[in-house]
Amino acid sequence: MKKLTIVANWKSNMTSGEAIQWLQEFPISQIQSHTSSKEIVICPPFTLLNQLKWYVTEKKLPFQIGSQDVSPFPRGAYTGEVAADLLKEFVTYSIIGHSERRKYFHEDGQMLANKVDLAHSSDLTVIFCVQGANTSIPKGVRVVAYEPVFAIGTGEPDSPENAESVARSISDNTQVEMVLYGGSVTEKNVSSFTKMEHIRGVLVGTASLNPSSFAQIIANA
């Protein structure tokens, strides 16, 4: 059976108090039987990485931690940036190339390739977001999330059949080993994506902010 990867992208949400409440309310018993077949990754804002890492380690929760972005520069005089080398103290995964980064922060192919290189130098697993089968994918990327812009935060997911055909095309034509789907994933529709042959997991935004919905997504995937 294929191992699935289920990623929560909290985006710019959650205070430390809200994150603790999320963790306390998360119905861990509901996902206990799924943790050997599903890798669960939580990507909080930078401000919560330290706290989340501490909590997950202390309580032995079956979660990996990821960052939502990584600096295109190494550590040094880059005010406001967080280098991969600093992130690796807290995370094992990094999302790179999310469409919101491309749109609001004008991130281009060269910048994304620099981010990927630095993340790999720090041994982080990159989850590289693409908006379609033709988005260019930097060298060395093994995990891609197909996230069509029309489906993000709209409640209008892509069809599982179309997502599967994009995932198949990426798997057949690149060195990528794993394609996830993201865009309006909920507990109701998750299995329609994860049952597809070339879709190996999901990237969840809005529905991951609610601990019971996210647990249900893990259970239903």
User: What are the residues binding ligand PGA (CB under 6 A)?
Assistant: 9, 147, 152-153, 182-185, 203-207
Distance of closest approach, residue 88 Cβ to ligand PGA, in angstroms: 22
Distance of closest approach, residue 169 Cβ to ligand PGA, in angstroms: 20
Is 106 considered catalytic here?
A: no
| Residue whose C-alpha is closest to residue 85's, from 96, 95, 73 | 73
Residue whose CB is less far from ligand PGA, 203 or 215:
203
Residue whose CB is less far from ligand PGA, 66 or 138:
66
Q: Which residue is nearest to ligand PGA (CB)?
A: 205
For residues 13 and 15, what is the distance between their CA atoms, to the nearest angstrom? 7
CB neighbourhood size of 32 (10 A) = 11
Per-residue tokens: 121: 């130098």
Residue whose CB is less far from ligand PGA, 9 or 122:
9
Please identify which of the residues 39, 100, 107, 147 carries the catalytic annotation. Answer: 147
For residues 22 and 17, what is the distance between their CA atoms, to the nearest angstrom? 9
Please identify which of the residues 39, 98, 100, 120 carries the catalytic annotation. Answer: 98
**Contacts of 174 by beta carbon, 8 Å cutoff, 6+ apart:** 137, 144
> Please, which contacts does 79-82 make with residues 24 or more away whose CB atoms are closer than 8 Å?
82/46
For residues 148 and 112, what is the distance between their CA atoms, to the nearest angstrom? 18
The CA-atom distances, in angstroms, between 140 and each of 45, 124, 133, 134, 137 are 25, 12, 17, 17, 9
Distance of closest approach, residue 152 Cβ to ligand PGA, in angstroms: 4
Distance of closest approach, residue 32 Cβ to ligand PGA, in angstroms: 24
Is 147 considered catalytic here?
A: yes
Residue whose CB is less far from ligand PGA, 86 or 181:
181
Residues classed as catalytic: 98, 147
